[in-house]
Amino acid sequence: MELLAPVGTEEALKAAVAGGADAVYLGGKNFGARHFASNFSDRLLAGAIKLTHDHGMRTYVTVNTLIKEAEMADALSFVEMLDAAEADAVIVQDRGLLPLIKERFSIPVHASTQMAIHSSAGVRWAGEQGIERVILARELGLEQIKEIAENSQIGIEVFIHGALCYCFSGQCLFSSFLGGRSGNRGMCAQPCRKSYSIGKKEGYLLSTADIFGVASIPELMRSGVASLKIEGRMRSPQYVYLASKIYKKAIERAREGTEPLITDRERELLEVVFNRGFSGGYLTDQEVMQTAFPESRGRPLGPALVTNGRLRMPRGVLEAGDGISLYLGNEKVGGFDLKASDLDGANVIASPPFAVKDGDYTVYKTKDREFPGIEGLISKIKLQEREAVRRSVELPPKRMRRNETVSELSFYVSSLAVLKAVLPYADRVYYDGTKQDAEALELCQGEGKEFVKMLPRLSLKESPSDHDRVMVNTIDQYEMNKERTVYGSYHMNVFNSYATPKLHQSTLSPELNQEELLQVLSGSEGRCEVMAFGRLELMLSRDPSLPEGTLVDDRGVRYPVHRDPEGFVHILHSTDLLLLDKTPELRSMGVDSLGIDVRRRHPDLAAFVGRSFKELDMANLEELRRKCGRSSLGHYRKGVF
């Protein structure tokens, strides 16, 4: 079983080597899902590959963002350079980049967790595309992983330690619509680490604890999982070293049947180096939320009393050279390193080197006496740049002019009342109801309107639909229903005209602006839909704790929250997307269909929206804005970075 370490800096790479990891994953300056890590120039990437190979390790390079049409040639040029430099694999999210890599290069491809593959069906699809390994969604439990791994013909990788995203990876639009920084493009602004309220609950309600999966290693090993992955390309070299060394030992102990898998001292070091609270995560269905605070505070040591500027607390595990930080409520007051004179038998009695009022504080251990020695070990490893050449890659021209069209209207509905309200204006209906499918189908057929069953947003159960026409939200759902007439929702993240699989109709990503939409349309022969109205889904989570209602951020912005029959929580945009006045432009671009989402809306509003789009009545625009409360053009003008 491979242990895979995160690398975001040169020093972190050296730390992974010193810590004994079997492999590392790291990114270049572009196309990586950790844009704000230091990352590596081409020459440093080539040097990193050489360094790891010299130590018997493997290097996987992240190309795991969504790729815009105009970027595809550059992305392929980057992959060609990595292939020439003998990288061991590239980690890919974009399903348009994937077939182009397989056509041109020999480098292995791993499916990023950003693809949100969560079932044997998704893994089967990946294998059919020539992918050699799938990094599974982090929301899976041990039994689900076991079933997938035992039935897989390709390698399975699982996250074992580090941050757990609140939303299914690759399915989050919150950061994107909050400020134009797309998580799908490596620029997440971490809205899940902000403060919110819902009903009487307040706090960091979307903030998760870190995965601490040591106890799951034996079961994952028996299941045939190929690789255990540590999250943390934004973390310190000490973190990378300690996580690599300690988890490597835990794997060896599991292989030998030795207990415990981790010592108290090893756990202490992991807690000190980075810790937002530890949880077995979804692997063991433990509590995954830690909503008291969103940042790392190190190892909690308990309360301390300050009187007359002197801090007093039980000594516990503390030694000279350790560092502690003091918090008053949620406010960090300061931190300092302990000297031998600060330790008085079983107690710490110290005068902090900063002003501190008398009172009761909470203390965390934030530095360990071993850290300087770890830094010394890391510094002994040398990384040298090597030659790396990017050659231009040309793609066959695909640009064509699509004919101007009267775009069809496709309505997302979840109740018969709304269905009846929009039928006079609809060309098709995506029915998202949990009941009365037969009646909804009969109503559509009676009016000569196309009925498409919208599959559950995501399901951890494999169950093909019994409808002939379906809308899918994940690649797993596509694989289970590919013999049917398949429509793709915007959750399929279609960012370019190369995206696979080719569906009867694809909804283009709402993160694309007008020019980018035109570029995709100009390269696409198939049917394309663009979302034109509704509250887009910002997050899909397996969080069991967030109730239905209205999530309110610290600016007073309100986000509707609902739960589906599968138990997943959906957080919707505070604002309606409204492109009524852009419909003539969309028609001229050759958009085949406009998506109009009126789920969970009043039938009267749904009918007014439908009539306005059907008649293209611009006189209704201001009234529609008033009825919606808040509306915007989304990313239609600016797009995302």
The residue ranges of the chain whose pLDDT is under 70 are: none
113 φ/ψ angles, rounded to the nearest 5 degrees: -60, -20
Options 3.30.565.10, 3.20.20.70, 1.10.287.110, 3.40.50.1220; CATH of 408-536+573-632: 3.20.20.70
pLDDT score at 207: 98
Asked if residues 422 and 440 have their Cβ atoms less than 8 Å apart, the reply is no
pLDDT score at 462: 87
pLDDT score at 398: 78
d(C-alpha 297, C-alpha 366), whole Å? 7
Instruction: Give, for 98, the enclosing helix (H) or strand (E).
Output: helix 97-104
Q: What is the DSSP letter of 629?
A: S
Question: Sign of torsion, CA 596 599 605 606?
Answer: positive
| The pTM of the whole model exceeds 0.95 | yes
pLDDT score at 183: 93
pLDDT score at 179: 85
d(C-alpha 358, C-alpha 150), whole Å? 59
pLDDT score at 142: 98
pLDDT score at 38: 78
DSSP 3-state assignment of 570? strand
79 φ/ψ angles, rounded to the nearest 5 degrees: -65, -40
pLDDT score at 433: 84
Q: Per 3-state DSSP, what percentage of the chain is helix, strand, and coil (rounded to 5)?
A: 30, 25, 45
Asked if residues 120 and 152 have their Cβ atoms less than 8 Å apart, the reply is yes
> What class, spelled out in words, does domain 2-164+208-292 have in CATH?
alpha beta
Q: Name every residue whose Cβ is closer than 8 Å to that of residue 126 and which is 6 or more positions away in sequence.
A: 111, 115, 117, 134, 154, 475
Of 605, 535, 538, 615, which is closest to residue 580 (Cα–Cα)?
A: 615
d(C-alpha 363, C-alpha 350), whole Å? 13
Exposure string (b/e) for 449-479, b if CB count within 10 Å is 16 or more? bbbbbbbbbbbbeeeebebebbbbbbbbbbb
User: In this structure, what token pair is assigned to residue 423?
Assistant: 């039928």
User: In this structure, what token pair is assigned to residue 227?
Assistant: 């690789």
d(C-alpha 38, C-alpha 208), whole Å? 25
pLDDT score at 97: 98
Q: What is the DSSP letter of 553?
A: E
